[in-house]
Structure 1
Amino acid sequence: MSAAYLAGLAAGASLIVAIGAQNAFVLRQGLRRQYVGTVVALCVLADVALIALGVAGAGLAVRRHAGLLQAVRYAGAAFLAGYGLFALRRAWRGGQALAPAGGDAPDRRRVALACLGFTLLNPHVYLDTVVLLGSLSTRYAGAGRWGFAAGAASASLLWFAALGYGARALLPVFRSPRAWRVLDALVGALMLALAAALLRG
């Protein structure tokens, strides 16, 4: 493996593994065993596209369009607040609907739209992938830049696959409706905190 690839892998992992709304969503879908492949694929494809844009030089354009990032910031805050309130409502109600394979499961389209919301309505995803990773890639010339991009994309693939499919190891804990209520309460609190953080800028 080239030094550029390994540097991209490390940089991508350091940004992607941070606790956030998208990771919480992927974890919950993994625990519920609902459309995990769809969720993982959408997260990875979005990251790959944004990393490629950053390495291709789109970071400067993102910096110049502060108004667009502001619009994404407010839309993201509203989306996170709404999802957070729904998660807190699930935690309050409890019941069989929280079991991993029970209750009224949302269809694939709704899950995919929610996943895209968590991914694309977060202004930090553009700053992390397009601006930051794009800037870091400029330390390498020619093919090295795309080696860096491949490393960052590999980090995304490894992380989301591990998070989505590895969540099954926690299923013995989440056979209890009480564990689901605790998870939803934590997810709801995280979403509201992130929404507040976005509004504060």
Structure 2
Amino acid sequence: MEPLIHGIILAFGLILPLGVQNVFVFNQGATHKKFTNALPAVVTAGLCDTLLIYLAVAGVSIIVFSFEWLKILLFLVGFIFLTYMGWVMWKNTPEVSANQEKSQFSARRQVTFAASVSLLNPHAIMDTIGVIGTSSLAYTGYEKWIFTMACIVVSWIWFFSLAISGRKIGQIDKNGTFLKRMNQVSAIIIWVMAIYMGYHLYSFLN
């Protein structure tokens, strides 16, 4: 149960802030009259996140488990990164601006753009490898894959939810107040995860 809850909370904490990837999926849901027309962006973002999460959990674990000092270093970096990331989220004021491009992307453009902001985004890579990958080190075997699947499922649910609710939120939240509050809640969740990672770091050192 612990890896499942940990994976869900961590994934939600990381994915809630409206970064470039999420804003794109959100806007595609808002600009297309039919939900199915925004599916290329949703599916591409989901597949890219699935790939990054899988590589982070599988690849980082193999390397880290071979070196105790590297495991401790990664937990330390993860703790610092989460703490800083929470602060950035708390201070950030997202905007769903009327000045953003409102043209409807074709399926090909959606796939291309969603893949680029997912796989070529250093922030997204740091989220998965630096946070989810290192967090998975607390688990082995069956529990590790429960944690991994929890992160992946949350990612897919969130992208679908963004596309479905994009138009409604965009119409109601004209000045970005709701999005700002959402980022602040996410920051608190991230800080809780930083404390959790710090606890594991303390355990390794004692």
Structure 1 residues 137 and 162, CA gap change in structure 2 (3 angstroms): same
Q: Corresponding residue for 1:49?
A: 51
- Alpha-carbon deviation of 1:58? 3.5
| Separation in structure 1 between the aligned mates of residue 104 and residue 133 of structure 2, nearest angstrom | 38
Aligned partner of 1:138: which letter? L
Q: Corresponding residue for 2:121?
A: 122
| Separation in structure 2 between the aligned mates of residue 136 and residue 48 of structure 1, nearest angstrom | 16
Aligned partner of 1:28: which letter? N
Question: Which aligned segments of 4 or more residues in structure 1 are displaced greater than 6 angstroms?
Answer: none
- Contact 1:39-1:111 within 8 A present in 2 as well: yes
Count of residues paired in the alignment: 142
- Contact 2:60-2:134 within 8 A present in 1 as well: no
- Alpha-carbon deviation of 1:171? 6.7
Q: Which runs of 5+ in 1 are unaligned?
A: 64-87, 99-103, 184-201
Q: Corresponding residue for 2:99?
A: 91
Structure 1 residues 106 and 43, CA gap change in structure 2 (3 angstroms): closer
Q: Corresponding residue for 1:162?
A: 161
- Contact 2:11-2:154 within 8 A present in 1 as well: yes
Aligned partner of 1:151: which letter? A
| Separation in structure 2 between the aligned mates of residue 124 and residue 172 of structure 1, nearest angstrom | 28
- Alpha-carbon deviation of 1:138? 0.9
| Separation in structure 1 between the aligned mates of residue 4 and residue 112 of structure 2, nearest angstrom | 31
Structure 1 residues 106 and 140, CA gap change in structure 2 (3 angstroms): closer
Q: Corresponding residue for 1:150?
A: 149
Q: Corresponding residue for 1:4?
A: 3
Q: Corresponding residue for 2:28?
A: 29
Structure 1 residues 22 and 171, CA gap change in structure 2 (3 angstroms): closer
Give the % identical residues. 28
- Alpha-carbon deviation of 1:112? 1.2
Aligned partner of 1:40: which letter? V
| Separation in structure 2 between the aligned mates of residue 137 and residue 152 of structure 1, nearest angstrom | 10
Superposed CA RMSD in Å reads: 3.0
| Separation in structure 2 between the aligned mates of residue 29 and residue 36 of structure 1, nearest angstrom | 6
Aligned partner of 2:167: which letter? R
Per the normalisation by structure 2, the TM-score is 0.59
- Alpha-carbon deviation of 1:23? 1.3
- Contact 2:4-2:147 within 8 A present in 1 as well: yes
| Separation in structure 2 between the aligned mates of residue 139 and residue 31 of structure 1, nearest angstrom | 39
